[in-house]
Amino acid sequence: MLEILGLAFCFLSIFRVRELSTSFFVLSGFIFFWLYGARIRNREIGGWAFFVLRMSRLYPLHLATLLFVAGAQWIYVQTNGQPFGHGGNDTRHFALNMLFAHRWGLESGSSFNGPAWSISVEIFLYAAFFLVTRFSPLRAAPILLLVVIGLQGDSNGSNLYCLGAFFVGGLTYIVYRRALGIGWIELGLRVTLLVMWSLTMVSLATEITLNTFAPTYRLDNLFAVAFLFPLTVLYLALAETRLGSLWKSASWLGDVSYSTYLLHFPLQLVCALFLPLEIFGSPIALVSFLGVLLLLSYACHKYFEMPAQKWIRNKARTLSKSTQGSASVGKQK
């Protein structure tokens, strides 16, 4: 179920549902605390291993889309006299993108594969996550403190606010661990979420705001990050645990969510290069775009991401063994 939610986030981000740009970090935080929290805390995964695991997952496709967009944008500028979508496509921003540093405060606006800004923020969050889980107890109080501090940041995608959203996901995982096996919690969440999502859909459809004295974006984003999405993730995680293997057949949806997210802008750029702009308002064109994107993402994950990930991890494993062997020889001498 969480895989479906992850892919839904990616699709909705294509339609620029702005609350999802930061709410996605809630799901990311939950998954990381689930997969890595205890293992890092118990010293089962060290800093180098964690670095290799994440870089082998993220960097190959990031690099490939960066190079592709750089070339395609050059062609688009030669044809149209201006860049498509994101304008900071110079040497400095290319270097920042190469280092995942294009959203660390060194940039001047969006550049190249613009949606990859969130991947840059994720790198910052990974470092914070590793330090917190390695050196502090995995309890609600310290995580809640980080949430309160983080959510003081600018809700329009600032790194501090994304940090808060990420640790909201971590706090949700701690609640999940305590809620396992308590049946009434899942039932209560089901009713609560039905009401909350119904009101949210009505609000989005009619552009109603609950507070006319503050920016509606701030209110909606804070509501989504602090309440709506954490409770949704919690409910789906509890339901998935109860249902067991029923949803394993949908795990591929989670696998392709990363490629779907990173490929949607390059695909838009290709469409802008070769297709007339008039067709972009067509519902048929939209459905066709999403279908092609999903197929392309699946092929990319299977035939590019997974082989590249395996190759990098094998090389890192060989390097690690070689280093350990050299250290052992050095001690014997």
| Pairwise CA distance, residues 103 & 125, whole Å | 12
| Pairwise CA distance, residues 26 & 163, whole Å | 9
Residue 205 has pLDDT above 90, yes or no: no
Name the token pair of 230. Answer: 């954490």
Side-chain-side CA neighbours of 211 within 13 Å: the count stands at 11
Name the token pair of 136. Answer: 């502090």
Residue 215 has pLDDT above 50, yes or no: no
- Of the candidates 308, 327, 21, which has an alpha carbon nearest to the alpha carbon of residue 162? 21
- Of the candidates 232, 207, 199, which has an alpha carbon nearest to the alpha carbon of residue 23? 232
**Reported confidence tier of residue 141, pLDDT bands at 50, 70, 90:** confident
3-class DSSP state for residue 158? coil
Q: Say how far residue 129 (Cα) sits from the centre of its chain.
A: 14
- Tell me the domain boundaries of the chain: 2-181+245-311
Contact 244, 178 (CB under 8 A): no
- 46 or 248, which is more confident: 46
pLDDT tens-digit map of 144-177: 999 999 989 887 778 899 999 999 999 999 999 9
Q: What is the pLDDT of residue 19?
A: 53
Q: Say how far residue 206 (Cα) sits from the centre of its chain.
A: 28
Question: What's the pTM?
Answer: 0.84
Q: Mean per-residue pLDDT for 289-311?
A: 94
Angle at 130 between CA 113 and CA 56, to 5 degrees: 45
Helical ranges in the chain per DSSP H = 2-14, 19-32, 38-41, 47-80, 91-98, 117-135, 140-150, 159-179, 183-206, 216-223, 229-243, 251-255, 257-274, 283-300, 306-332
pLDDT tens-digit map of 31-83: 999 999 999 999 999 999 999 999 999 999 999 999 999 999 999 999 999 99
